[in-house]
Amino acid sequence: MRATRKVPKDGVTMVANQRLRVGASHAGKTVTIVIEDTVFRVLDGDIELSVHPRRTTGPILGFRPCW
């Protein structure tokens, strides 16, 4: 699964009730978040910005897909 989010000026976005710190230097960019079994991968095009471990392994409910 993938989700698309616009990074706010504080550099922190949310997916599946988990805060993902992307970085304030990426504020205003639209990033793609790849949702895997154990991690979230934050991508800007083909460039991987960060990897965050998933705190829960249950299903993602209320999924908001890419725009």
DSSP string, 10-44: TSEEEETTEEEE--GGGTT-EEEEEE-SSEEEEEE
Question: pLDDT class for 56, splitting at 50, 70, 90?
Answer: confident
Please tell me the total number of residues recorded for the chain in this structure.
67
DSSP tag of 60: P
Q: Supply the DSSP symbol for 8.
A: -
Question: How many angstroms separate the CA atoms of 65 and 55, rounded?
Answer: 20
Average pLDDT over the chain reads 89
Task: Please give the single-letter amino acid code of residue 31.
Answer: V
Whether the predicted pLDDT of 40 surpasses 70 = yes
